[in-house]
Structure 1
Amino acid sequence: MSEQEFDYIVVGAGTAGCLLANRLSRDKAKRVLLLEAGRKDDYHWIHVPVGYLYCIDNPRADWRYKTEPAAGLNGRSLLYPRGKTLGGCSSINGMIYMRGQSRDYDQWAALTGEDAWRWDNCLPDFKAHEDHYKGDSSSRSSGKGQSPISPEFSALHGHGGEWRVDKQRLRWEVLDAFAEAAVEAGIPATDDFNRGSNEGVGYFEVNQKNGWRWNTAKAFLRPTCYGRPNFELWTMAQATRLLIERDPHDGGALRCAGIEVWDGLERLQARLAPGGEVVLSSGSIGSPQLLQLSGIGPAALLRQHGIEVLADVPGVGANLQDHLQIRSVYKVQGARTLNRLAATPWGKASIGLEYLLRRTGPMSMAPSQLGAFTRSSDERQWPNIQYHVQPLSLDAFGSPLHSFPAITASVCNLNPTSRGTVQIKSARYQDAPAIAPNYLATDEDRRVAADSLRVTRRIMAQPAMARFAPEEFKPGVQYQTDEELARLAGDIASTIFHPVGTTKMGRDDDPMAVLTPRLQARDGAGGVIAGLRVVDAGAMPTITSGNTNSPTLMMAEKAARWIVGR
């Protein structure tokens, strides 16, 4: 580690941080430092798709957070994985490529007053780094000197970028039947969830390449950044606080001068060159924690822990939103499921051999293979629930598979109205913050939970599933009323690990906005903290209608252009 000045310091080498480091270091005249609290992504289970099972709750790759006990979950707390390695959450997540719905981004534009966040203006940022498998044939002629790629594909998707989007390398008969049943229940089939409306049922596309996980460290750091002399990477380097100073030449206005880092042996400082920027990309948990530790946040909270209040910004750590999935388990008959396939030594050996020889089969699986987006009731104007369907079942993450053949149909409310918080518990950077998502805290969220379980039952009752004789194992057909189903949701629901919103962007007149519409940190007094931005999922004012990894990359792509002034 050096102690030189840098033009850009990116804190967190996760989903957003890796892309930002790549884009900002393109200018050879600018020195870029990328900080990562975890280790390099050289743990083999990071790269095998099914390896998320061995990465989550493993200190080698995960911060191992837990939520505070929640009333909406009947007093339960949940494991809350966040990536702690190069690639961040893209090294341990479900690998699902999902943009959300166009209305999500149009809503951001309305909430922030920034037209750049409209869907039409975000689409080029999605395409800029995309390498979609359907474009692979674009380099070959159709025989008549014309590309075989359709204009519709070219309008919506990119090819040749760093971020690989692949087709899954396995199918399951029982999941095909679920998809047919969903169509019979009124959900249209789709072959592309990423057109702007994701309504429909189909197999997810995944961030994999040739059967391996494709994380952002592979995509944006190797080999590009490693070969740039103006790029420096510090791993095992945890940011402890921002270096915030008052500028005597600007009336005492706040500016960020750099970052303090603990490398396991000593505290170091990485400082900014004149005109430089620190970019926080530590995620919806790490970024508000670091801001609060640095004196930027709700004044009462900071004083409670003996931290000098530099900027009273009440929104830091507020507005936490997440997707809570309700896991319905159905026993099935005559179906090939992972419960039985992985039950014997021979079955496990065959799974391993198939992956070794062909990079296919269950070891190439994303955590969920089939997806669906639909409405929880007829009164909904747009798809407001999402399914993750799996050919397996277990009591909880990390538990053994059930001994009987079964499938799991998990459903989540895409647009929860409950809001939670992330707040430091002490002034020590080593102490994890209190994470309180406040799930199922509103009547609307409890109603959607009950309605979504009924939608699951309606799909499973369709003729296409009849040959498998599905039997509801969890939550159980004895639970029918709204009150019963909402209470059961609290008993069996779990996070899909999509925390957003804790450093939200917003208009100047929004007292809870932590960031400007262009992601600059506010100083709580009507101005900004010079040299400081936050670029990660925490900046989202509202959660996207789907998995949040790809929208975070899009935000980083847009922010990188703003930072370099293009």
Structure 2
Amino acid sequence: MNETPFDYIVVGAGSAGCAVAERLTRDGRTRVLLIEAGGSDKRFWIKVPLGYGVNFANPRLNWSYHAEPDAGLNGRAIYWPRGRVIGGSSSINAMAYMRGLPHDFDDWESAGARGWSWQDVRPAYEQLERHFERDTDGTLRQRGDGPLAISDLSEQMNPFSERFLTAAEQNGWARSDNLSAVTDQAVGYYRSTVRRGFRWSSADAFLAPARGRGNLRVVSGALVEKVILQGRRAIGVRFRHKGRVQEVRAGREVILSAGAINSPKLLQLSGIGPAAQLRALGIVPLHDLREVGRGLQDHLAISYLYRSNVPTLNNILGRMSGRMMAGLRYLATRRGPLAVPINQVGGYIRSDPALARPDMQIYCNPMSYGTDAAGRTHLDPAPGYLLCAQPCRPDSRGEVLLRSSDPEDAPLIRPNSLATEHDRDAARRALRLIAQMARAPALAEVTRQRLTPAPDLTDPDALLEDFRARASTVFHPTSTCRMGHGPQDSVLDHRLRVHGIAGLRVVDASAFPSVTSGNTNAPTIMLASRAAGMIVEDSANAPDRALAQVG
């Protein structure tokens, strides 16, 4: 192990890890090592917003995980992409920026994450954000001066998308000009982490400015194999880089920001987790912490495809000539279909007006397309559109467990989808919501037919079976190292410290006590920003103690 320690080692240069590294290096003196398994994000199809569809199944940028056969989804093994590249999943995601709803965070605090209520986290969002939005006269203006660029791209979106908003208004749903920050039911154009026609990932927002500091070292293409413990304290990590195994010391803390799949995997490889399961794989349990890997939550969504009798994005991107023209336009202007993420319109909806809170998120895309079991995207050449609904707050919980003691092996991902009556009923309500949207005059008058599922599938039980046969993850895994009251119900305390192990925190979506109502990238970055501030604060309160305990 190296004799001159870094102060902090951050594992994972993704949505959370980049934000953590930036905050910790801001003083110019604190020495930080950031380790990433993937390579550079300097790739054309990462930077192009619509490149999401290209990178979705690229094994060079992606862990390309598959969940285990899921009984709730007719035994299907669903594709679970996770970013393996600088920027992590923020370099390959669909860029929709949604904070979540206030009750999401109030529920976190009730679950034991003290200091994470809506009142606590809202200022953190405001400090992060830099919005580029249009005034009523069309003038582009900046609001906020945070590092994370969030753009209103509505004036570049396909004209068909306006029909979705008209349909929503016909259903009595309110329209918002800033969907990213709504706190109740509303629909609108999604705002995106895009800046001047390019994806604006966590690496762009946080790592790029930090790289100029002499106190940050970034090692990419390195697989961390375990956290090294000395008694009940984390003192470093072991990683493999360019065929060589290395060990490096952290003078103050090791911070896992490897994501909701790989952070629990690393804890378990390090001997921290359910003792009996670790022993069964030949791993010596160093700290029996049974909740590591448990509590997995995710959003499950169903998409319906329709044939349109008016033009949609399929008329452009579904044909080679259209793709070529869109590509030339993008290269010349950084505008047009390639400059806009595919998720254009959506929002939070109450599936029943009697509900106190929105319980569904919808996505309305002006293009019909699908993905196969390997994650490859297939576009329809004829005009069409997509309606998608996801229940916001499922209560089924799954788990992430080691497959073996080999760090190269993918873990076992067991989503346990639709395991509760609450979630099965939510699936039924999602289907009714899509039907309600499709019946609105603004859409009904331009719809030729429903493509998927077949138009003659109308029986509620048959539609639920179709949900089981086709529904899939929306790539929002959380809660596998969640914050909570104590080791009996969680992995972390409210300051994201691993119960019972000094000098070790987990800072990523795995720390969520429960999944938020919408897209999880924004709350992950917010959580990382706040956690990094806590780390700095804790170090200032005890600057010498941590180093003394390592020696």
TM-score > 0.5, shorter chain as reference: yes
Structure 2 counterpart of 1:428: 406
Whether 1:91 aligns to 2:97 is no
Structure 1 counterpart of 2:504: 532
Structure 2 counterpart of 1:301: 277
Question: Deviation of residue 197 (structure 1)?
Answer: 1.2
Structure 2 counterpart of 1:391: 366
Structure 1 counterpart of 2:227: 242
Whether 1:166 aligns to 2:142 is no
- Out of 380, 386, 398, which is 1:402 matched to? 380
Structure 2 counterpart of 1:118: 117
Call closer, same or farther: CA 1:239–1:312 in 2, change over 3 Å.
same
Structure 2 counterpart of 1:281: 257
Are the equivalent residues in 2 in contact too, given 1:178–1:460 (CA < 8 A)?
no
Give structure 1 stretches of 5+ with no counterpart: 143-147, 150-156, 247-253, 523-527
State the alpha-carbon separation in 1 of the partners of residues 488 and 462 from structure 2. 38
SS, match of residue 400 in structure 1: strand
Question: Deviation of residue 404 (structure 1)?
Answer: 2.7
Question: Deviation of residue 294 (structure 1)?
Answer: 0.4
State the alpha-carbon separation in 2 of the partners of residues 136 and 310 from structure 1. 58
Cα deviations across residues 35-56 of structure 1 (Å, max 9, x unaligned)? 1011121222111111122222
State the alpha-carbon separation in 2 of the partners of residues 331 and 491 from structure 1. 21
Whether 1:179 aligns to 2:165 is yes
- Out of 496, 505, 518, which is 1:519 matched to? 496
Structure 2 counterpart of 1:102: 102
Question: Deviation of residue 113 (structure 1)?
Answer: 5.4
SS, match of residue 417 in structure 1: coil
Question: Deviation of residue 342 (structure 1)?
Answer: 2.5
State the alpha-carbon separation in 2 of the partners of residues 539 and 113 from structure 1. 10
Task: Report which stretch shifted further, 398-407 or 55-64.
Answer: 398-407
Call closer, same or farther: CA 1:501–1:158 in 2, change over 3 Å.
farther
Whether 1:337 aligns to 2:336 is no
Cα deviations across residues 379-407 of structure 1 (Å, max 9, x unaligned)? 43211111111111124252421233210
State the alpha-carbon separation in 2 of the partners of residues 318 and 257 from structure 1. 25
Cα deviations across residues 496-549 of structure 1 (Å, max 9, x unaligned)? 1000000000013x6121000110001xxxxx2110000000000110010000
Task: Report which stretch shifted further, 438-447 or 537-546.
Answer: 438-447
Call closer, same or farther: CA 1:28–1:395 in 2, change over 3 Å.
closer
Call closer, same or farther: CA 1:164–1:506 in 2, change over 3 Å.
same
Task: Report which stretch shifted further, 281-290 or 60-69.
Answer: 60-69
Question: Deviation of residue 259 (structure 1)?
Answer: 0.5
- Out of 320, 324, 327, which is 1:349 matched to? 324
State the alpha-carbon separation in 2 of the partners of residues 188 and 161 from structure 1. 28
Letter in 1 for 2:422: E
Are the equivalent residues in 2 in contact too, given 1:135–1:158 (CA < 8 A)?
no
State the alpha-carbon separation in 1 of the partners of residues 485 and 43 from structure 2. 42
Call closer, same or farther: CA 1:477–1:346 in 2, change over 3 Å.
closer
State the alpha-carbon separation in 1 of the partners of residues 113 and 489 from structure 2. 15
SS, match of residue 425 in structure 1: coil
Question: Deviation of residue 189 (structure 1)?
Answer: 0.9
Letter in 1 for 2:216: F
Structure 1 counterpart of 2:188: 202
Q: Please list, as runs of the form range in 1=range in 2, the aligned pairs for 1:4-15 lying within 5 A after superposition.
A: 4-15=4-15
Task: Report which stretch shifted further, 185-194 or 541-550.
Answer: 185-194
Are the equivalent residues in 2 in contact too, given 1:376–1:452 (CA < 8 A)?
yes
Are the equivalent residues in 1 in contact too, given 2:47–2:199 (CA < 8 A)?
yes
Are the equivalent residues in 1 in contact too, given 2:133–2:143 (CA < 8 A)?
no
Question: Which consecutive aligned stretches of 4+ in structure 1 deviate over 4 angstroms post-superposition?
Answer: none
The TM-score with structure 1 as length reference comes to 0.90
State the alpha-carbon separation in 1 of the partners of residues 113 and 259 from structure 2. 24
Structure 2 counterpart of 1:154: none
SS, match of residue 162 in structure 2: helix
Structure 2 counterpart of 1:267: 245
Task: Report which stretch shifted further, 347-356 or 254-263.
Answer: 347-356
SS, match of residue 422 in structure 1: strand
State the alpha-carbon separation in 2 of the partners of residues 352 and 43 from structure 1. 16
Structure 1 counterpart of 2:450: 472
SS, match of residue 269 in structure 1: strand
Call closer, same or farther: CA 1:200–1:558 in 2, change over 3 Å.
same
Are the equivalent residues in 1 in contact too, given 2:56–2:376 (CA < 8 A)?
no
State the alpha-carbon separation in 2 of the partners of residues 317 and 23 from structure 1. 27
Question: Deviation of residue 59 (structure 1)?
Answer: 2.0
The TM-score with structure 2 as length reference comes to 0.93
- Out of 518, 524, 528, which is 1:552 matched to? 524
Structure 2 counterpart of 1:376: 351
Structure 2 counterpart of 1:541: 513
Identity of aligned residues (%): 39
Whether 1:20 aligns to 2:20 is yes
Give structure 2 stretches of 5+ with no counterpart: 539-551
RMSD between superposed Cα atoms in Å = 2.1
Are the equivalent residues in 1 in contact too, given 2:298–2:476 (CA < 8 A)?
yes
SS, match of residue 296 in structure 2: coil
State the alpha-carbon separation in 2 of the partners of residues 28 and 350 from structure 1. 47
SS, match of residue 379 in structure 2: coil
